[in-house]
Structure 1
Amino acid sequence: MKLTGKLLKTSAVAAALALSLAACGNGGASSSGTPTEALKGADQQSTDKYTTASVTPLDKIEKDKLGLLTPGTLTVGTLSDAPPSIFIDKSGNFTGFDNELLRAMGDKLGLKVQFASTKFQSLLAQVKNKQFDVGSSSISTTDARRKTVSFTNGYDFGFMALVAKNDSKVQSIADLKSGVRVGVVQGTVQDDMVTNQLGLDPVRYPDYNTAYANVKSGQIDAWLAPSQQAEGQIKPSDGTKIWEKKVATQNFAAYAVAQDNQALTDALNSALDAVIADGTWTKLVKQWFPERKTDAERMPDGWKPGSKAVKVPAGN
């Protein structure tokens, strides 16, 4: 992505902060780094307290006060390699559940949505320093990350998946022990789980494609990943499979916004409630996650998207 003007001024700061946030490497694997403790506070009570009771009516949103980099346009940092949530399709268009949902939200606000590709380990710092208005990357909301950015209300939950070869002896998260080379994408909650909960030193990669390529080639024994991204990577001829999936509603996914731009966070929350209420959220979940066939599968364990006030139309 080409940076000009204000973006150039913040790029160096963003890059430095990204290193401290995510223990980054430079395009390859890294087996060392400081854990970010992103899972701290990751329980239903902690996350529910951040969900707003209601939202501002759409007709009360003042578009000229949203602090956008370009008036009338949401400039969004996202990933290019994490289907079905966030990726670039064969025609070169940014798409996926997260991004199509954000486009629908932009329509509600009368805003154009412009995407730019970045790496996950840099994204929060780039949002913080206003290189992007919004970060869209199935970002798990955690107490540690809230020290860097603000988040909208939740729009999705996730599964954690263990990926390994079909003949692997590593077949569950419980098998991740000393001596097992497990890969993660830098700065993700999977990185923190392996580092902080399991007490292991994972092999950290800059993106999902690289992590998966290394489990396919046998450079690592397993990859702990968001299950949506794992499912988007695996092909029938790859000789790999998802051995275990764990639901994770506690760390709901949300869009990231700079902490000093409450007006934009409020506007996005209003738009999110609007696309939930009119059935767009349910339609997109069915389109991008066809395995979630019922309302219970789309909203497990009592979780639901948006504010506490919005009602999700029945989708069965």
Structure 2
Amino acid sequence: MKIKAMKWLTTVPVAIAVAVSLAACGGGAAQPTASPTDALKGSDQTALDKYTTKDVTPLDKVDKAALGLITPGTLHVGTLSDAPPNIFIKDGVFTGFDNELLRAVGDKLGLKVEFAATDFSALLAQVQNKQFDMGSSSISTTDKRRENVGFTNGYDFGYMAVVAKKDAAIKGFKDLTKDTRIAVVQGTVQDDYVTNTLQIEPVRFADYNTAYANVKNGQVDAWVAPSQQASGQVKESDNSAIAETIINTQNFTAFAVNSKNQPLIDALNSGLDAVIADGTWSKLVKQWYPDRETPKTWKPGSKAVVLPQG
């Protein structure tokens, strides 16, 4: 597998039918644009400083009564059930890096956290429509998404990967052409990248399991995926592999919140800084990403928080 660090469904008719139905239902599917944005273009931390808060409200100054929660004292969270190691269900319990981090943030704020599964293509609209207090799903904070929903400070950065059969001619992003049948999950950054940057109409699916299943059964040639989710899906026995991974720190990942609920965004930022400062964030990174190195040009939380040494 090549890794680059930059600066900053069982039959063809069924697969096609699923892709057409998903593309037709909207819900965040990417549409071709005149000025595509390259999701893999590198950037440094400075490019994101306009979105990162200078500091946060002290935890003891957070007014829990002003958070506008659906149920006072409880965070109702929309998430996914099939995207390890970030967001998934194990033994009937929602877990993964993102969700365990959010539980730790909730503990700092004295809030109970309740998760419910949804499709990614619907998640941001459900948050903005207040069906959930917030969304936890390794959400890349693109400028386009910021037009419709609010975000906390960043807690992770992005990787994008190409998954294909081991004996396929596709060995990386450069091998993706208009003749390639590319699977994406609808409404994701990967959907936008394939549609608007590569100018290729992808085969859209509702979830990661189905997208990868179609790589394994040969209904698509490749899957452009978040690297973390790709690593959680691909097994040595599958005759598939992560052909290439590229680090993208241009858009950090964050928790999504209704754009008008600034008190909740501020409170979550306070809790996030607290779990970064006490070492919880670093502990969870080591637990869920044991082989990953965090780029030196990136750090989570506000500009004021300091990562513990060691």
User: How far off is 1:47 after superposition?
Assistant: 2.8
Gaps of at least 5 residues in structure 1 are 1-17, 24-32
User: How far off is 1:22 after superposition?
Assistant: 1.5
Structure 1 stretches of at least 4 aligned residues deviating more than 2 Å after TM superposition:
18-21, 33-48
Matching residue of 2:247: 247
Paired residue type of 1:302: T
The alpha-carbon distance between structure 1 residues 101 and 223, as it changes in their structure 2 partners (threshold 3 A), is same
Matching residue of 1:140: 140
Distance in 2 (alpha carbons) for counterparts of 1:88 and 1:306: 26
Paired residue type of 1:118: T
C-alpha contact (below 8 Å) 1:38/1:142 kept by paired residues: no
User: How far off is 1:20 after superposition?
Assistant: 4.2
User: How far off is 1:251 after superposition?
Assistant: 1.1
Residues 112-163 of structure 1: CA deviation (Å, up to 9, x unaligned): 0000000000000000000000100000001100011100000001211110
Matching residue of 2:262: 262
Matching residue of 1:304: 299
C-alpha contact (below 8 Å) 1:191/1:202 kept by paired residues: yes
Residues 197-216 of structure 1: CA deviation (Å, up to 9, x unaligned): 11111111111000000000
Identical positions, percent:
66
Using the size of structure 2 for normalisation, the TM-score is: 0.88
Q: Which has the higher contact order (CA 8 A, sep 6+)?
A: 2
Using the size of structure 1 for normalisation, the TM-score is: 0.86
Distance in 2 (alpha carbons) for counterparts of 1:155 and 1:38: 26
Cα RMSD (Å): 1.8
User: How far off is 1:48 after superposition?
Assistant: 2.2
Distance in 2 (alpha carbons) for counterparts of 1:306 and 1:38: 29
Distance in 2 (alpha carbons) for counterparts of 1:192 and 1:22: 10
C-alpha contact (below 8 Å) 1:38/1:144 kept by paired residues: no
Distance in 2 (alpha carbons) for counterparts of 1:68 and 1:40: 36
The alpha-carbon distance between structure 1 residues 136 and 38, as it changes in their structure 2 partners (threshold 3 A), is farther
Matching residue of 2:17: none
Determine if the alignment matches structure 1 residue 34 to structure 2 residue 40: no
C-alpha contact (below 8 Å) 1:40/1:142 kept by paired residues: no
User: How far off is 1:178 after superposition?
Assistant: 1.5
User: How far off is 1:257 after superposition?
Assistant: 0.2
Distance in 1 (alpha carbons) for counterparts of 2:51 and 2:38: 15
C-alpha contact (below 8 Å) 1:39/1:189 kept by paired residues: no
Paired residue type of 2:220: I
Gaps of at least 5 residues in structure 2 are 1-23
Paired residue type of 1:194: V
Determine if the alignment matches structure 1 residue 173 to structure 2 residue 173: yes
Q: Tell me the secondary structure at the aligned position of residue 245 of structure 2.
A: strand
- Give the number of aligned pairs: 283
